[in-house]
Structure 1
Amino acid sequence: MLEATLMQATVHVSRLETYMPYLLARSMCSVTGFDVTQCNQNFMLSDSSLLIRFSDATALDELTESASPITEEHAWSNQHQHPTTSIAG
């Protein structure tokens, strides 16, 4: 069984057009070619102390079948803060 971890990620505005199609509600992606750094403790969006940074080498591939689907109670919206919309990153 796959074990998933939700981590905060940042996407520079210059790369939004590239990655936005993958950042959909309840979608899962395989991510390769990213940087990992310590998260700023004053701006944490999750319990993880690590932050993923997308770079020019980052590639995302949408997973069509998953052993661990995202349930609605785990999908959160940055705008509404209730468990029925989307996760980014």
Structure 2
Amino acid sequence: MSPIFKREDGYCFKIFSNEEERKHIHVVKAECEAKFWLEPTIELADNYGFKNKELKKITELLEKYGDEFKRKFTEYIGKRIDD
């Protein structure tokens, strides 16, 4: 199961259940996907199809919701590790 943390402006922000512990988030829209590190700073890790303009918009959204995503990531990964 892949929890979705938020949907905004057509972007879906989520993680995958078999993920590593370093805080990050996947962003999906249509046929495009990107992975961003959330710590120590917001940084693009991988990009599959997003144009620079879209990456800038995604980065702005991550700056807006970054603390919320980090908290949710920790909650989810902690539950997964404890199972």
TM-score normalised according to structure 2 size: 0.26
Which structure ranks higher in relative contact order (CA pairs < 8 Å, sequence separation ≥ 6)?
A: 1
TM-score normalised according to structure 1 size: 0.25
